[in-house]
A and B are shown apart, each in its own frame.
Chain A
Amino acid sequence: MYGEEPLFGLLNRIGTLVEGHRPWPRYRLGRDGWLRLIEGLAGNGWSLLGLWGEPKAVHAAFREDFSGDVAVVSLDCPQGRFPSLSAVRPAANRLERAAHDLYGLVAERTTDPRSWLDHDAWGVRRPLSDQPAAPVPNPGPYTFLPVEGEGLHQIPVGPVHAGIIEPGHFRFTANGETVVRLEERLGYVHRGVEGLMQGKPAAQAARLAARISGDATVAHSLAFARAVEAALGVEVPARAVWLRALMAELERIANHLGDIGAICNDAAFAFMLAQTSQLRERVLRTADACFGHRLMMDRVIPGGVATDLPERGAGLLLELVAELRKRFPPLVAIYDGKASLQDRTVTTGFVSAELVTRFGAGGHVGRASGRDQDARRSPGYAPYDELAFEVPVLTEGDVNARVWVRIREVEQSLSLIEQIVTRLPAISRGLDHPSVALDSGRGGEGMALVESFRGEILTWVRLDGEGVVTRCHPRDPSWFQWPLLEAAIGGNIVADFPLCNKSFSCSYAGHDL
């Protein structure tokens, strides 16, 4: 962007480069440098990609959207305190609160110091810090933000919801039917994934990565695998790289089909769900026949893939593509032609382009509000550099736009599957599975950015010389989308919340870890 300072220009001035961090550079900053960084962030458009803690250090990742440059910055904080980024990057707030709850790091001058993942139920405070503390005796209730005004009432919802969905709490403040404010309280599904990964060999930690968020199991596995491979400098066989993309696109299609139907179902148009759920079932069965698991869990592993495509796989996949190309467009026509549906989705749940940019929200949430960002293209990873696909971008920012981005993505993914199946590299002789052994005796730090169906996943990992995970931070795209849902619902009626929520389809488990 004109007038902006290059990200690397600033970081080279204020930080020192850390060796052995791949594929993007990591800079170590002093406290002054960190303050200078906050100043720089205020005047520049760099996106926050993630923020995570360690017992005595804090790390953050940024991208300069214009050039695609990515960098990690680190600050040692022996006192367990660091200046907060939340005033210049509001998306950092919940990540800082999570770092506090898990590692005991205090964000100074933060915009919101309340606990986030810690609900005073673990029996321990700051469990991953050097010195975990005893639980608070008689903890007080969580304080929601104050709301004042005549005629306002509150509607508490959750953590157990009416549908078959994950747990989380929503506190609506409404004036009549109109929602004035929504405040989310998450963390109910916190299972301690980061803590469980520590001290496990990469292969075992990968099983945890596959269960960060069940609907994005391929994408999270891929992000973890790529981060490990980057850290160890391992080259994956070409066939495995292509098979991974194949699984990722199958996962994208299955999820989009399910969600498109569910959005319509929330608008009382059950016909669409009945139809798209049949198509989704068709995709899952093909995945099962090709990879031996309906959701393809544990099929992407560090070093390659756990299973090869069977002989009849290519045929099954091409049949699937042909069938979806026949059966999906008539459903799209019905979605587009039903006034009762359009009445509910058009102009509902609007999110501005400014807000998605400010929060760095990706996936269909960002792309429906004009943010043209897709990790498959920038920074990009194999094999997508050899495949032809478009990234659909709309600007309306409403539920309807998010549905249309998903529809277009289904079409693109079908084309991608076709391209991958027809050009799949042959298996190298002598290999049972297209994967390589991860040599021990090497360690390092690695990071990966992978596009899930929901948006960009960042995974950062540090391995010791034995190939054991010493620290891993998987950042689900939902971290930057949940806060925008609060903005999207404002001014809409309570009954439109399911539509807004479903059109975002944020992950609870992926966010809560």
Chain B
Amino acid sequence: MLKHILTSLTSGPVTETAPAPADPALAELAGKLDKAARARLGRSLSIREVDAGSCNGCELEIHALNNPVYDLERFGIRFVASPRHADVLLVTGPVARNMREALLRTWDATPGPKWLVACGDCAVSGGLFAGGYACVGPVEAVLPVDLRIPGCPPRPTDLLAGLLALLETSAAR
């Protein structure tokens, strides 16, 4: 254990340089944030992740954001346990009808100002599951979406670029 700690101290950081904020995401967000919201948030974002019917692929990559290589927390972005603590809902999946009510209640429990990010192809468009009896389709069919991060699943760098765009836009004065 001690050896591990010493190695970690001497071998330099494993964390990689962050990607630039995604340009399309910046454009998508530009008009959506008002001044009051920007002032309230500063440079930090608390995210509540909601799986509304994903295959768990998106969750695996979202988890990766917390590993030391991507180290999301260095940007002031962190995942929180309750929607009551959140500024952003990060929603995955084609919104299974069985999850629709839970998603709505989670959104209602999130205090404003708040944003909704659709993460992954299923959340963006319904993916392969659109049109079935069991799914609503894209998240925007249930709630207004502020930012879309496509991919099946999106790579951690794509997620990071999208979230940084959200942070940049919300922090811009």
Contact = CB atoms under 8 A, between A and B. Distances in A.
Interface of A: 117, 119, 121-124, 127, 159-160, 162-167, 187-192, 195-196, 207-208, 211-215, 217, 258, 271, 274-275, 277-278, 280-281, 284, 294-295, 297, 330, 334, 337-338, 507-509, 512
Given A164-B62, A278-B14, A297-B152, A119 B132 contact: no
Nearest to B121: A211
Nearest to B130: A196
B124 interface: no
Give the secondary structure class of B's interface. Answer: mixed
Interface stretch (B23-31, B38-46, B99-107): B99-107
A284 B57 CA distance: 13
B57 A217 contact: yes
Given A189-B98, A294-B155, A162 B56 contact: no
Given A165-B51, A214-B56, A277-B63, 5 more contacts: A160-B83, A281-B69, A295-B153, A334-B1, A338-B1
A425 B14 CA distance: 36
Given A196-B128, A214-B56, A297-B57, A187 B69 contact: no
Nearest to B66: A277
A496 B101 CA distance: 29
Given A189-B96, A213-B56, A297-B152, A195 B102 contact: no
A280 B70 CA distance: 13
B134 A190 contact: yes
Contacts of B68: 274, 277-278
B4 A330 contact: yes
Contacts of A334: 1, 4
Contact of A122 (B83, B93, B134, B152): B134
Contact of A277 (B64, B132, B133): B64
Contact of A207 (B1, B56, B128): B128
The size bracket of the interface on B is 35 or more
Interface string B68-90: 11000000000101110000000
A130 B106 CA distance: 36
B27 to A, nearest CB: 27
B55 interface: yes
B128 A211 contact: yes
B134 A192 contact: yes
A160 B55 CA distance: 15
A329 to B, nearest CB: 12
Contacts of B3: 330
Contacts of A192: 129, 132-135
B56 A215 contact: yes
B54 interface: yes
B60 interface: yes
Contact of B134 (A160, A163, A195, A212): A195
B170 to A, nearest CB: 21
Given A121-B97, A122-B97, A278 B67 contact: yes
A167 B56 CA distance: 10
A208 B69 CA distance: 31
Given A188-B102, A191-B96, A196 B55 contact: no
A164 B98 CA distance: 18
B133 A123 contact: yes
5 contacts: A188-B98, A188-B102, A190-B98, A213-B56, A281-B64
B138 interface: no
Contacts of A196: 128-129, 132
Contacts, number: 142
A195 B132 contact: yes
Contacts of B168: none
Given A121-B101, A191-B132, A192-B135, A213 B55 contact: yes
B163 interface: no
8 smallest CB-CB distances across A and B, nearest first, come from A214-B57, A192-B134, A277-B67, A162-B81, A214-B56, A214-B55, A192-B132, A211-B55
A160 B106 contact: yes
Contacts of B81: 162-163
A292 to B, nearest CB: 12
A195 B53 CA distance: 16
Which one of B51, B58, B94 has the greatest number of beta carbons of chain A within 10 Å? B51
Which one of B4, B52, B67, B152 has the greatest number of beta carbons of chain A within 10 Å? B67
A280 B61 CA distance: 11
A122 B133 CA distance: 6
A55 B115 CA distance: 44
A5 to B, nearest CB: 41
Given A121-B100, A277-B66, A191 B57 contact: no
Contacts of A159: 99, 102
A281 B67 CA distance: 8
A124 to B, nearest CB: 6
A495 to B, nearest CB: 15
Contact of B56 (A271, A278, A508): A508
B59 A211 contact: no
Nearest to B65: A164
Given A122-B134, A214-B54, A295-B60, A160 B128 contact: no
Given A190-B134, A277-B67, A330-B3, A211 B102 contact: no
B146 interface: no
Contact of B59 (A166, A195, A275, A280): A166
Contacts of A294: 61, 155
A399 B100 CA distance: 34
Contacts of A507: 56
A213 B102 CA distance: 21
B63 to A, nearest CB: 6
Contacts of B94: 191
A191 B67 contact: no
B56 A509 contact: yes
